């Protein structure tokens, strides 16, 4: 059965393979090879028979074809109500067909399925809450991505992302040494400004184990400093692990379930090794979803929970502001109108709508909700890995319109986005549509507003 050198059914497991794939700029050769990649129909069907169980089967079967899910999907709205963007249509014309044809589908069909699974669905799960039967296309497209991945029909960047996790246990090529070096460098930086502040690495029995997104280590190290300063200001007994510090999972976006397991086990091992009381995850939505909500299932943990209690950064922020461990200078509260982007992964799918509002009550004088918001909020437009896939930039940019209009309708020009994906999508939206907005994570805002205890102030000379 024909497979390409770059585009094939084998996941990437070595640095060498990874470099070779990355050298193919934009995936030109990769996508060319994809056009003649054979579908292993037997493997496809046997995998469906093992994994397509009652809940998915029922969803495909009983869909009443009522169309109530249509306008729940931001892609449908952003594309002038294009009927091919109706969630039910998208899944029935892909997964539905594969199942009805018992896996007997060809290359062209699989490429169409790939394009649908990654460019027409961000797995935001919003349609699930508008369907009378609770049919969840986010869950099903995630399943479809798994089928596509196993057959080698996966966007170039996603194949790379999966390979990164397999090789480095991080979504980017950040080795353990790189990571520890970065931490040390950042620690020196903050010590200059706040004498005595530390970034403890591999400290055992800490109250908090802090884990993050490799982008912070690679491109935004200031985020690590900010987190460190805030933990210190709040007087936390905290640490970062030298291994198992990466929370994100491009493997989840890629549908690489084996890679997902490898990645989260790396983090769970750090928990076992360092025995902290709790883990706090940075301001990232999918990282929380992957490692805290879905991860235990990939790792086969029967409790459905991570080995130690794990919370999202927003939960920690609400906690320290509530308790007064971190004090805000009231005169520095945000005065201009400000709105909040609810990340699908920890608001709709993680139940954190209430703590985020609590935070806003401490930080903002004129907080404006988007409509709809909380559990019903729309995806930023860049979820599910879509931000990072060159092949689908046009589709991504079109999808951003819904969020753009939601933001404009609030009248606020400032958006708080405690999620890397949302943050990127909003940044790109401003770049494309130029609506004159600012956006921010929580950390820099908190740092601006926080009251610095005397013992961290530089000594007067």
Partner 1 sequence: MYQFVTGPLAWLAFGVFFIGLIVRTVLYIKGLNWKMDRVTYGVNTKYGVKGAFRSVISWILPFGTHGWRSHPVFTVITFVFHLSLLISAIFLPAHNYILKQKWGVSLITIPEAVGDIMAIAVMIAVVLFIIRRIALTEVRIITTAYDYLILLIAVAPFVTGFIAYHQFFDYELWVILHILSGELMLIAIPFTKLSHFVLFFLSRIQIGMDFGIKRGGMKNSGFVW
- Interaction site with ligand SF4 (CB under 6 A): 63-69, 72-73, 75, 87-88, 90, 121-127, 131, 133, 135, 137-138, 141, 379
CB of 254 to partner 1, least distance (A): 17
Query: How far is 9 from 149, CA to CA, in rounded Å?
Result: 7
Query: How far is 395 from 402, CA to CA, in rounded Å?
Result: 13
> Considering the rule CB under 8 A, would residue 294 count as an interface residue with partner 1?
yes
**Binding partner of residue 89 among partner 1, ligand SF4, none, CB cut-off 5 to 8 Å per kind:** partner 1
The residue assigned the tokens 């802090």 is 210
Taking the least distance from each CB to ligand SF4, the nearer of 137 and 209 is 137
- The residues near 271 (Cβ < 8 Å, ≥ 6 apart) are 209, 244, 279, 306, 307, 308
Q: Whats the size of the chain, residue-wise?
A: 461
**Binding partner of residue 323 among ligand SF4, partner 1, none, CB cut-off 5 to 8 Å per kind:** none
Whether 300 contacts 268, CB under 8 Å = no
Taking the least distance from each CB to ligand SF4, the nearer of 203 and 391 is 391
Contact with partner 1 (CB under 8 A) among 86, 183, 422, 450: 86
Contact with partner 1 (CB under 8 A) among 67, 235, 330, 411: 67
SS3 for 450?
A: strand
> Considering the rule CB under 8 A, would residue 265 count as an interface residue with partner 1?
no
Pick from 314, 320, 316, 262: which is nearest to 291 by CA?
A: 262
**Binding partner of residue 348 among partner 1, ligand SF4, none, CB cut-off 5 to 8 Å per kind:** partner 1
Whether 123 contacts 90, CB under 8 Å = no
N- to C-terminal Cα distance for the chain? 75
Candidates 26-34, 75-83, 383-391, 392-400 — which segment interacts with partner 1 by CB under 8 A? 75-83
How is residue 191 written in tokens?
Answer: 């010590």
Query: How far is 449 from 436, CA to CA, in rounded Å?
Result: 24
Whether 203 contacts 211, CB under 8 Å = no
Query: How far is 287 from 292, CA to CA, in rounded Å?
Result: 8
Q: Restricting to residues 322-381, which ones interact with partner 1 according to CB under 8 A?
A: 347-355, 372, 374-376
CB of 215 to ligand SF4, least distance (A): 23
CB of 316 to ligand SF4, least distance (A): 28
CB of 332 to partner 1, least distance (A): 29
Residues of this chain that bind partner 1 (CB under 8 A): 51, 53-55, 57-59, 61-68, 70-72, 76, 81, 83-84, 86, 88-89, 92, 128-136, 293-294, 297, 300, 302-304, 347-355, 372, 374-376
């Amino acid at each position: 059965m024909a497979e390409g050198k770059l585009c094939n059914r084998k996941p990437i497991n070595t640095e060498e393979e990874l470099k070779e794939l990355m050298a193919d700029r934009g995936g030109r050769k990769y996508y060319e090879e994809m056009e003649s990649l054979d579908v292993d129909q037997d493997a496809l069907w046997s995998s469906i028979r093992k994994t397509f169980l009652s809940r998915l089967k029922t969803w495909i079967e009983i869909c009443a074809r009522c169309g109530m899910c249509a306008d729940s999907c931001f892609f449908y709205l952003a594309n002038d109500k294009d009927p091919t963007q109706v969630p039910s249509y998208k899944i029935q014309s892909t997964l539905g067909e594969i199942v009805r044809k018992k896996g007997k589908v060809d290359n062209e069909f699989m490429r169409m399925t790939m394009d649908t699974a990654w460019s027409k669905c961000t797995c935001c799960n919003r349609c699930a809450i508008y369907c009378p039967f609770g049919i969840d296309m986010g869950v099903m497209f995630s399943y479809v991505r798994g089928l596509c991945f196993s057959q080698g029909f996966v966007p170039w960047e996603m194949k790379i992302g999966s390979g990164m996790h397999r090789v480095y246990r991080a979504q980017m090529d950040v080795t353990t040494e790189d990571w520890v070096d970065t931490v040390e460098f950042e620690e020196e930086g903050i010590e200059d400004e706040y004498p005595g502040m530390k970034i403890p690495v591999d400290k055992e029995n800490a109250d908090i184990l802090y884990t993050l997104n490799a982008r912070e280590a690679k491109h935004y190290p200031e985020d690590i400093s900010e987190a460190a300063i805030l933990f210190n200001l709040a007087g936390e007994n905290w640490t970062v692990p030298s291994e198992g510090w990466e929370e994100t999972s491009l493997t989840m976006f890629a549908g690489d379930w084996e890679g997902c397991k490898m990645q989260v086990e790396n983090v769970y091992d750090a928990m076992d090794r360092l025995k902290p009381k709790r883990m706090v995850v940075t301001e990232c939505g999918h990282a929380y979803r992957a490692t805290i909500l879905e991860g235990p299932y990939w790792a086969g943990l029967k409790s459905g929970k991570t080995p130690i209690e794990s919370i999202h950064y927003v939960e920690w922020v609400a906690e320290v502001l509530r308790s007064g461990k971190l004090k805000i200078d009231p005169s520095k509260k945000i005065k201009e109108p400000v709105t909040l982007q609810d990340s699908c992964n920890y608001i709709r799918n993680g139940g954190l709508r209430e703590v985020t509002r609590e935070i806003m009550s401490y930080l903002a004088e004129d907080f404006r909700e988007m409509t709809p918001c909380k559990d019903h909020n729309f995806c930023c437009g860049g979820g599910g890995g879509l931000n990072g896939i060159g092949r689908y930039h046009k589709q991504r940019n079109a999808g951003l319109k819904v969020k753009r209009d939601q933001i404009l309708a609030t009248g606020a020009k400032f958006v708080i986005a405690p999620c890397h994906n949302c943050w990127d999508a909003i940044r790109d939206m401003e770049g494309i549509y130029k609506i004159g907005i600012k956006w921010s994570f929580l950390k820099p805002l908190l740092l601006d507003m926080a009251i610095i205890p005397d013992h961290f102030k530089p000594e007067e000379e």
